[in-house]
Structure 1
């Protein structure tokens, strides 16, 4: 029942965000639209921002768990870009609100999880410190997030597969060369 209630609140928030800026949606508005009481909302979430974070975590993070290797990272990245495009109004509404931090956290966490595993895989036979691995994964994570957020700002005209192919051109072979410098 608990998961069903959370999903109902999540779909209601997403539906509301198609026409209303996130900053203008209150818990009162949400529970009225969803047909639940405020106490039920607060049983599951501390605030509407926590619900927003839950949506990103549960809708997209689960989909990429099997794409965190050097051979499959492009598929994981494609899932991220496709999620943003498929949920454009929701993601853009978040991006243009005070809830942007939740989108940024989601994008960072999901991208970092893919990239840190790839960096570890590439450097399995090398003696590289953990903080250096994290630095390289951070570098690529922020580069991908920058590309993604710029793509969002420009109206998501380019196809996700094309962007992932371009990112692959930048990363292919360069990650190993960069890691040799450490």
Structure 2
């Protein structure tokens, strides 16, 4: 692991801790770096702002569970792994999800889910004729938005059911959308 990656991970760890303690909006670069015992400039050597840091954390930790596994894992396994990750990091994501401004986590999460949903739609279409492009885009947007909304509700609610149970419920809901044929 390079020094740069180690530094980024140290900054990210402190950021996650602070977000969990005081919330996303109250975390400042000065607080992150004071807690990290690093110079403020070190932060800017790696990230433009806390939004980019939050995106980097999500990319490094959560998105790799989606995109890095698309080629060889079934979508059901990817969904379950993603919810296990969210459950393990629920305090951080609960605080992040409460921030609803520009560059919100919900927007970022929705965009990355579309690739997973695209794969599911292709698998579910099977030998059926290929979906029209506009219908495909609509379904990707619809399911990604629903997925993010339900994940947000689950996390903010304190993960009232286990990640395994929640993943099962999400898979069932997703599959029910394909049961009825036109």
TM-score normalized with structure 1 length: 0.85
Residue 118 (structure 1) aligns with: 120
Structure 1 residue 173: Cα displacement: 5.6
Name the residue aligned to 2:22.
20
1:43-97, CA deviations, whole angstroms, 9 ceiling, x for partnerless residues? 211111110111011011112335548x821211112222221111111111223
Question: Runs of 4 or more off by more than 6 Å in structure 1?
Answer: none
SS at match of 2:114: helix
Aligned residues: 178
CA contact 2:70–2:116 (8 Å) conserved in 1: yes
CA displacement, residues 92-129 of structure 1 (integer Å, 9 cap, x when unaligned): 11122356843213431342221111112333641322
Equivalent residue number for residue 142 of structure 2: 139
Write the distance in 1 (CA, Å) between the matches of 2:56 and 2:36: 17
Gaps of 5+ in 2: none
Query: Which residue matches 1:82?
Result: 84
Does the CA contact (< 8 Å) of 1:67 and 1:75 recur in 2? no
The 3-state SS of whatever aligns with 1:19 is helix
Q: CA deviation at 1:136?
A: 0.9
State the 1:176 CA deviation.
Answer: 6.3
Equivalent positions of 1:1-182 (< 5 A) are: 1-65=3-67, 67-68=69-70, 72-98=74-100, 101-123=103-125, 125=127, 126-172=129-175, 174-175=177-178, 177=180, 181=182
Q: C-alpha displacement at 1:11, in angstroms?
A: 0.7
CA contact (8 A) 2:110 2:145 kept: yes
Give the Cα separation in 1 of the matches to 2:60 and 2:93. Answer: 14
Measured in 1, the distance between the counterparts of 2:167 and 2:69 equals: 14
Over the aligned positions, Cα root-mean-square deviation in angstroms equals 2.3
Deviations 1:5-64 (A, max 9, x none): 111110110122231222111111111111222222112111111101110110111123
Q: Scaled by the length of structure 2, what TM-score is found?
A: 0.85
